Structure 1
Amino acid sequence: MTRVVIHAGFHKTGTTSVQSTLRANRALLEPHLRVYLKADFDALTEATRAFCAAPEDDAALNAVGRYAMRFFRRIERDDPRPILMSSEDLSGHLPGRRRRPGYHAAPRIMSVIAENARHRFGDNLDLIFFFSTRDSDTWLRSTWWQNLRSTRLTDDLDLYATRPEVATDLNGTVEAVAKAVAPARVMSESLDLSRDRREGPLAPLLDLFALVPEIRDALAILPPVNAQPVSGLDEVFLALNRSALSEENLRDAKKNLRRIANKQS
């Protein structure tokens, strides 16, 4: 059996930290685990985000299937090592980004990916979808911060929370995906639990593979990546977004402030 684990989300649940640690330990893991990150299937994530933005477009959904199959065809079926794919963009866009909708399309996306994985690996496939989740309030604030720093969002947190596209039930999405991809398994763990483990949010993913303890003990564990650096910077960024600064000056100001904040954290 070929175990394929697809870590497909969600944004702002420790996924960047997971991928950074996998990237840093790729050579150590390579004899035991085939690791594929976003750069390895970039065309597929472009297709999933395009379908997220246009969920009524059958051509966009067909593109998801086409690029999923192109990716799976590159994978050697006779290799005994299990497979781990990790990219939150497989579930679509970060909710709230330029008012694009959230994860409503994720069940259909995962269903198409599962269908193409089965076509490639047949009865030898052991397919698992894994989702990192998070407490709803802290997740909402984290997406607000991410959109503040990456776009010219001018909504405060209270107004942002009323947007329909950010009213996302992560656990409900996981349940919907489970129905869509059956008989494949769907698993999840909250960042609120995994962050206290030695490998952080990577730990529940590693639990899905029969790695010997010596390999896990040898992993270089990186500090959290892409976390909000210091309290209060969000209000500064909100004021900057509402200012008359040009896009270039706004971008530079945010970059400099983040650099200073990261040094202090």
Structure 2
Amino acid sequence: MTTRIVIHAGFHKTGTTSVQSMLRENAALLEPHVRVYLKDAFEGLTESTRSFSLDPTKKTLAAVARFSTAFFNEIALDDPRPILMSSEDLAGHMPGRHGLECYDSAGLVMKALSDAAFLRFGKETDLTFYFSTRTREPWLRSTWWQNLRSTRLTDDFQTYSNQFDAARSLDDILEEIAVDVAPAHVTSFLLEEATDLPLGPLDPLLTLLDLTDLDRATLTVLPPENVQPDLGVDAVFLALNQSALPEKDVQEAKRIVRKMARRLDP
């Protein structure tokens, strides 16, 4: 029996939260057709991938390999359903944090995952790494917003984006991953092109899984999540981050502003 595995390993701010929310919302309908594993099923693994992205050494890569092997070894071999893993943290920390400009560690992480999967399920395993992507400017703006609201980032968007001028593109990273994980497959889909699909960014994933017995029309579609409100909140957060207020006060102010924005944003 050939096992089909799809690993949705990134990238951040490309609709991944929306995908995972819909997988949770539709868990009962999907369960007869696919084995779905989200971040809470392999937290040790994502902790190790984030650590490796900050400190790419033999020791931290060995931890990624160890957690990958442990995860796959817990999955039954005699279950005919395909396997889906989904967590953007498999690609490491989001660029813009901790001095990271891109996913430079992702290729070796995916190689460790592919080695563990092939070891467990055999060389004939149908393994695909899937990455949701986004065009450059909207992606940078979205990562800026995420960092702005979650950290004490003090750069305006232009200053923030300038630091990525020499960074490798997401397409460059995908080409590197494809070389590292061969004979596994690597594919991607632009968030902008998924917007009008019936199930939004979840649609390309289900297509890869080839769930012929699943009636997609029965699945619940959720609205996009983690979207930046178009209310000028970014300017407020930037001012808070640049202020001398204590961290706990800044976080509380952000919480209140976000609550107000959710109430006002249509």
- Does the alignment reach a TM-score above 0.5? yes
Could you tell me which residue of structure 1 aligns to residue 176 of structure 2? Answer: 176
* Aligned-pair CA distance for 1:124: 3.7
Could you tell me which residue of structure 2 aligns to residue 111 of structure 1? Answer: 111
1:210/1:115 Cα in 2 relative to 1: closer, same or farther (>3 Å)? Answer: same
Q: How many angstroms apart in 2 are the aligned matches of 1:146 and 1:168? A: 20
Could you tell me which residue of structure 1 aligns to residue 193 of structure 2? Answer: 193
Could you tell me which residue of structure 2 aligns to residue 52 of structure 1? Answer: 53
Map 1:85-100 → 2, pairs under 5 A: 85-100=85-100
Q: Is the 8 A contact 1:197 1:203 kept in 2?
A: yes
Could you tell me which residue of structure 2 aligns to residue 142 of structure 1? Answer: 142
Could you tell me which residue of structure 2 aligns to residue 21 of structure 1? Answer: 22
Map 1:110-259 → 2, pairs under 5 A: 110-164=110-164, 167-212=167-212, 215-259=215-259
* Aligned-pair CA distance for 1:168: 4.4
The alignment's TM-score, normalised by the length of structure 2, stands at 0.96
Structure 1 spans left out of the alignment, 5+ residues:
none
Secondary structure of residue in 1 paired with 2:208? coil
Secondary structure of residue in 1 paired with 2:123? helix
Q: Is the 8 A contact 1:96 1:165 kept in 2?
A: no
* Aligned-pair CA distance for 1:165: 9.4
Cα RMSD, aligned residues only: 1.4
Could you tell me the percent identity over the aligned residues?
54
Could you tell me which residue of structure 2 aligns to residue 42 of structure 1? Answer: 43
Q: How many angstroms apart in 2 are the aligned matches of 1:77 and 1:226? A: 36
Q: Is the 8 A contact 2:33 2:213 kept in 1?
A: no
* Aligned-pair CA distance for 1:214: 5.3
Q: How many angstroms apart in 2 are the aligned matches of 1:188 and 1:145? A: 23
Q: How many angstroms apart in 1 are the aligned matches of 2:182 and 2:212? A: 30
Secondary structure of residue in 2 paired with 1:129? strand
Q: How many angstroms apart in 2 are the aligned matches of 1:25 and 1:165? A: 40
Amino acid at match of 1:259: K
Q: Is the 8 A contact 2:33 2:214 kept in 1?
A: no
| 4+ residue segments displaced more than 6 Å | none
Q: Is the 8 A contact 1:92 1:102 kept in 2?
A: no
